[in-house]
């Protein structure tokens, strides 16, 4: 699907979608439990992949709107009747790899072409070191994967600079092993707030897990039981980033954009609030009400380390193309291993719109002072975050911007374009 966006001014009140990161973890945690209800869940292509996996392991998942009623497999996944298709969801594949490793028999995990190109090797090595079976069918550390043979727990080393999801997978599975799992990190942990999210969800489901001097530890023999049998998902700050950015660069004069559902949580991407402020936008955050209010402003370039917030890179790059001066995005090599290489994607797509961008392996510099954005035909690269960031750029570009592959917003923000239209954006779909 293509979408066409013309210069627009935004105003009004809207609501952020629920967090994709929390929803994934909550659905799988409910699967590990005897039964649990997940409320205010994000229902998207990615989270539906996690629901399919829970069903494949023997759980029952019944959805009514944003409420998901799960009868779980009580800590011991059954053997799937068929291959488990994780579609485009890297979070599903990695978290489910840990779960599949608990199975007495074997599970085959696969996904679409993009997911089959993403690295899984360190997690497979960790499962093997914990006496489970974990293999890539192509012996290249990428899906399809064969996983199982009853992981029992123990101590394992794993790098922390490839994906924090490896640690999440091991912690979630380790809680129901006999021995528990101690994870010792061999490199600096990147995307650390995502492990904080995991620890928060585990705690809400009654599972103890802690950070140690060398990594993380989860005792075995635990059960997943949320208080009252229910868990509610908070709003998503990765998605909020596009709404804040839209208000900051294209807000109507004298008016503002109010984003509901912005309650504080462990999400690292809440850093977008301070980033937008540092660039010169006026942002008020009523944390008790969970409301962010942003008004248009002349932005200035800044320097941002995205080691812990990789999903913000596309949004920051777009803001940098509109701001005056240089915006430098540092520590971003790991952002190359997402649905697409987001560093190159943003460099190339912004360049099509007139952006002056310098790309290095671990750094992206956007020369906003030398950039005048113009409408162009750009490629969403099959990546929801690239699509939404380019849509924000289209709000201020001179002329019409056409984004191909716009349907991929279904991964995390299914009603993104409807939301933008409600805020006053001139957007059409074809």
What tokens appear for 356 in the block?
């002056």
Active-site residue (options: 311, 326, 379, 410)? 311
- Residue 25 is assigned to a ligand binding site: yes
* Distance between CA atoms of residues 394 and 249, nearest Å: 11
Annotate 100-161 with DSSP letters as a single string.
HTTSSSEEEEE--TTGGGS--HHHHHHHHHTT-EEEETTSSS-SSEEEES----EEEEE-SS
Torsion angles phi and psi, residue 255, rounded to 5: -125, 175
Angle at alpha carbon of residue 248, lines to 320 and 323, rounded to 5°: 25
- Residue 60 is assigned to a ligand binding site: no
Question: Do residues 424 and 11 touch, judged by C-beta distance below 8 A?
Answer: yes
Annotate 21-85 with DSSP letters as a single string.
HHHHHHHHHHHHSSEEEEES---SHHHHHHHHHHHHTT-EEEEETTEEEEE--TT-----SS-EE
What tokens appear for 237 in the block?
């700050």
Query: H or E segment at 327?
Result: strand 326-330
Measured torsion, CA atoms of residues 335, 341, 346, 351, in degrees rounded to the nearest 10: 140
- Adjacent-strand bridge partners of 260: 15, 291
- Residue 7 is assigned to a ligand binding site: no
- Residue 164 is assigned to a ligand binding site: yes
Residue 311 is a catalytic residue: yes
Sign of CA dihedral 310, 313, 314, 315: positive
- Adjacent-strand bridge partners of 393: none
- Residue 141 is assigned to a ligand binding site: no
- Residue 325 is assigned to a ligand binding site: no
- Residue 308 is assigned to a ligand binding site: no
- Residue 20 is assigned to a ligand binding site: yes
Question: Do residues 157 and 132 touch, judged by C-beta distance below 8 A?
Answer: no
State the DSSP code for 280. Answer: T
Q: Which residues touch 384 (CB under 8 Å, ≥6 apart)?
A: 339, 408, 409, 410, 411, 412, 413
- Residue 94 is assigned to a ligand binding site: no
- Residue 263 is assigned to a ligand binding site: no
- Residue 21 is assigned to a ligand binding site: yes
- Residue 421 is assigned to a ligand binding site: no
- Residue 12 is assigned to a ligand binding site: no
Annotate 391-427 with DSSP letters as a single string.
HHHHTTSBS-EEEETGGGGGGT-TTHHHHHHHTT-EE
| Known binding-site positions for 3-phosphoshikimate | 20-21, 25, 163-165, 191, 311, 338
| Known binding-site positions | 20-21, 25, 90, 118, 163-165, 191, 311, 338, 342, 385
| Known binding-site positions for phosphoenolpyruvate | 20, 90, 118, 165, 342, 385
Give me the active site residues, please: 311
């Amino acid at each position: 699907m293509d979408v066409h966006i013309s210069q627009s001014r935004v105003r009004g009140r809207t609501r952020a979608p629920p967090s994709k990161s929390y929803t994934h973890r909550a659905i799988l945690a409910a699967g590990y439990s005897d039964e649990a209800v997940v409320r205010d869940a994000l229902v998207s292509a990615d989270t539906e992949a996690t629901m399919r996996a829970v069903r494949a392991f023997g759980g029952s998942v019944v959805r009514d709107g944003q409420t998901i009623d799960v009868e779980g497999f009580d800590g011991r996944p059954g053997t799937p009747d068929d291959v488990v298709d994780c579609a485009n969801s890297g979070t599903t594949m990695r978290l489910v790899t840990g779960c599949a490793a608990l199975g007495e028999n074997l599970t085959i995990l696969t996904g679409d072409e993009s997911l089959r190109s993403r690295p899984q090797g360190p997690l497979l090595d960790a499962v093997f070191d914990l006496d489970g079976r974990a293999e890539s069918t192509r012996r290249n550390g990428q899906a399809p994967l064969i996983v199982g043979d009853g992981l029992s727990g123990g101590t394992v080393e794993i790098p922390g600079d490839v994906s924090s999801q490896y640690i999440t997978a091991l912690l979630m599975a380790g809680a129901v092993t006999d021995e528990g799992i101690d994870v010792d990190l061999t490199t600096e942990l990147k995307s650390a707030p995502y492990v904080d999210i995991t620890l928060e969800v585990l705690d809400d489901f009654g599972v103890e897990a802690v950070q140690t001097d060398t990594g993380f530890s989860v005792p075995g023999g635990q059960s997943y039981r949320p208080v009252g049998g229910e868990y509610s998902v908070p709003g998503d700050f990765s998605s909020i980033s596009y709404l804040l950015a839209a208000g900051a660069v294209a807000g109507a004069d004298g008016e503002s954009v109010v984003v509901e559902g912005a309650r504080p949580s462990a999400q690292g991407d809440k850093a977008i609030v301070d980033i937008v402020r540092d660039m010169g936008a006026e942002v008020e955050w009523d944390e008790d009400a969970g409301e962010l209010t942003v008004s248009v402003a002349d932005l200035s370039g800044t320097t941002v380390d995205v080691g812990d917030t990789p999903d913000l890179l596309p949004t920051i790059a777009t803001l940098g193309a509109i701001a005056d001066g240089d915006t430098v995005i540092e520590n971003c090599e790991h952002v190359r291993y997402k649905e697409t290489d987001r560093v190159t994607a943003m460099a190339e797509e912004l360049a099509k719109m007139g952006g002056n961008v310098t790309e290095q392996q671990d750094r992206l510099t956007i020369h906003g002072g030398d950039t005048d954005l113009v409408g162009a035909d750009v490629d969403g690269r099959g990546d929801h975050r690239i699509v939404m960031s380019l849509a924000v750029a289209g709000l201020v570009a001179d002329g019409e911007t056409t984004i191909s592959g716009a349907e991929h917003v279904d991964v995390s923000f299914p009603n993104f374009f409807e939301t933008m239209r409600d805020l006053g954006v001139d957007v059409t779909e074809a």
